[in-house]
Each structure stands twice: as C-alpha cells, then as structure tokens.
Amino acid sequence: MMRRRVDRLGRIALHAAYTCQGDSPPRPMVFASRYGDMGRSVELLEQLAQATPLSPTSFSLSVHNAIGALYSIARGDLTAQSAVAAGAETVEAAFVEACGLLSEGAPEVLVVVYDEPRPAPFAHFPEQVSFPHAWACSLRPAGDGATYQLSCSASTGAPERASGDVLPEELSVLRFLVSGDARFEHHTGSRLWRWHRDA
Amino acid sequence: MQALEQEIKKLVIETLNLEDLKPEDIDPAAPLFVEGLGLDSIDALELGLALQKAYGVALASDSKENRRHFASVRALADFVSAHRKS
C-alpha cells in the first residue's frame, strides 16, 4: 500500500535500496540526493500561489528524508537513517556520513544515491541532472578485499574534462567504484575530493 | 445512491492512486481504514480534501462524526448526499 505514495524518483531509489538490502539484516542507511523530490515542492508552491488547498500526501512527502522514511515504515525497520544533500559533493558527503556511522561501530552501512532532472521552473539552471538514476552500495570497515580511501583538499582548478566523455558528471563516482580504476579526482568548486582504490 | 457510491469509489481510487483496484473491487459496505482497504490518516485528509473539491462538503473537526462518515463508501455516499452543495 506504500507504493502508490511514491513517484518515479521514490520508486527508483527504493528499488535500488531493496535490491542492495536483499535478505540481509537491517543496517544503518544514508539516503543521498542533490535535489530530492523537487517536483513535489514545486507542485505545493504552485498550489500555495493559487491559494488552493495543499495535498496532505504531497506535503507529508515533500521533506528530504521522506523516501527513506517510507522504506523504514514499509519494512518496519527502525535502524538509523540520514538524508543528505550537498550540491555537487552529495555522493562524497554520503560516504563521509557512512564512514562516521562505521566508526561508531556499525558493521555495515547502506548508501542510496538518487536524483532526477529538476522540473520547471528550475530546469534551466546549470548542473541539471541528465536523467533519472538511482544506485546503492554497501560499505564495510576495511578488511579483506579491495579498500578505498577518500580525502578532501583545496582544489587548484579542475582540469578540462576529457573530450568524448559522454557520461554525465553526477555518475562519475559510480563509474570509479565499478571500474576498478586506481584513482579518481573530483573537483567541485574550491574543493578536490580524491578517491583512491587499494588493490 | 448507487450511482453516487460508484462515483465515490472512482474518487477514492483516483485520489489515493490505488493503481491495482477497480471500482467493482471495493465493497461499499466494507471498512475503508485500517481493515478493508487499509487506508491511513494521511489518506483520510487527502480524501476529505477531494470530497470538499468535488461536492463542496465541509468536514467538521469533530473526529467522532468523521469516523462515522468515513466508515465505508456507503457511509461517505450518505454523508455527501445529505450535505452536498454541488
């Protein structure tokens, strides 16, 4: 009965979350989205501008942690959750949050990243999301197998993007994680995030 | 009254996005909330708003009365036919 409440973004995010969760025991989760369910907010603002009553359902789902909350309610899962948004650094912020949870003793943390193109009247601003996407991964403290490091420092300017690189920037961390590449540098404004994979 | 019940069933399905249900799947005498269709308090608010828009019926803040009106599709139809303005 929860399914009917969620729009496209919620559905793809929850699909990723459920797939990654599988039959594993509940674990803390970080829901990360740069823009979240912006369509709902626009709809509510339009209703306010026209002085028509607001949809209670849309209102209840317009907060940034609504999708995670539905996951929690639908599964009866009371494990800790956070919802983060940090501009072009949203994925990095999610991993920092997840590392915090791991260092507090969580054996595993699930990170869910999801976004969709911003609706009008916000569609024309720069850094538009290219297409609806959602992915999830599970993080564990370093042990056997591949380990990763993430560090942050001042950026001295982003290099030119390689010509012919057709993958949208918001998917670059995902590409790094699945590619097996040794490193990836993500320049965002004045900061440089360095992702490093130890073989 | 049956036509109104049918209309309200459609309103419930459309308003609450009950994508797997058809009007004939809803028993007009069955409970809408918790049991039966299993709707919750947010659905009640959403449905109240839709009824207000469609029929001009105002729901009082008296929760006991509302509980009676929202008991089933049939109860809603009785309430709407007694109070409708449009």
Domain ranges of chain A: 3-145
Give B25: exposed, middle or buried? Use CB within 10 Å, 0-12, 13-18, 19+.
exposed
Give A187: exposed, middle or buried? Use CB within 10 Å, 0-12, 13-18, 19+.
middle
Structure tokens at A49: 């501008």
The chain B residue lying nearest A6, using CA atoms, is B17
Contact A57 B52 (CB under 8 A): no
Return the closest-CA partner of residue A2 out of A63, A66, A65, A64.
A66
- Give the count of beta carbons closer than 10 Å to the beta carbon of residue A150: 16
According to DSSP, residue B20 is labeled: T
Would the pLDDT of B43 be above 80?
A: yes
Contact B49 A56 (CB under 8 A): yes
Residue in A3, A4, A56 closest to B45 by CB = A56
DSSP assignment string, A62-107: -STTHHHHHHHHHHT----EEEE--GGGHHHHHHHHHHHHHHTT-S
For chain A, report the end-to-end CA distance as a whole number of angstroms: 45
Query: Is the distance from CB of A183 to CB of A199 less than 8 angstroms?
Result: no
Report yes or no on whether pTM surpasses 0.80: yes
Give B26: exposed, middle or buried? Use CB within 10 Å, 0-12, 13-18, 19+.
buried
pLDDT given at position A163: 67
- CATH classification of A3-145, choosing from 2.60.260.20, 3.30.70.420, 3.30.70.2190, 3.40.47.10? 3.40.47.10
Interface of A to B at Cβ within 8 Å reads 1, 3-5, 53, 55-57, 60
Query: Is the distance from CB of B31 to CB of B71 less than 8 angstroms?
Result: yes
Nearby residues of A145 by Cβ (< 8 Å), 6 or more positions away: none
Would the pLDDT of B61 be above 80?
A: no
Nearest chain B CA: its distance from A29 CA (Å): 25
pLDDT given at position A1: 64
- Give, in degrees to the nearest 5, the angle at Cα A174 between A172 and A179: 95
The CATH architecture assigned to B2-83 reads Orthogonal Bundle (1.10)
Backbone angles phi, psi at A190, to 5 degrees: -90, 5
pLDDT given at position B56: 93
* pLDDT tens string A36-89: 999 999 999 999 999 999 999 999 999 999 999 999 999 999 999 999 999 999
Contact A57 B19 (CB under 8 A): no
Nearest chain B CA: its distance from A52 CA (Å): 10
Residue in B16, B38, B42 closest to A60 by CB = B42
- Give, in degrees to the nearest 5, the angle at Cα A165 between A161 and A170: 80
CA dist B8 → A57, A113, B44 (Å): 19, 39, 14
Interface of B to A at Cβ within 8 Å reads 16-19, 38, 42-43, 45-46, 49, 52-53
Nearest chain B CA: its distance from A74 CA (Å): 13
Structure tokens at A93: 């912020």
Average pLDDT over residues A106-114: 97
Confidence band, pLDDT 50/70/90 cuts, at residue A193: very high
Calculate the dihedral angle through the C-alpha atoms of A134, A140, A142, A148, rounding to the nearest 10 degrees.
10
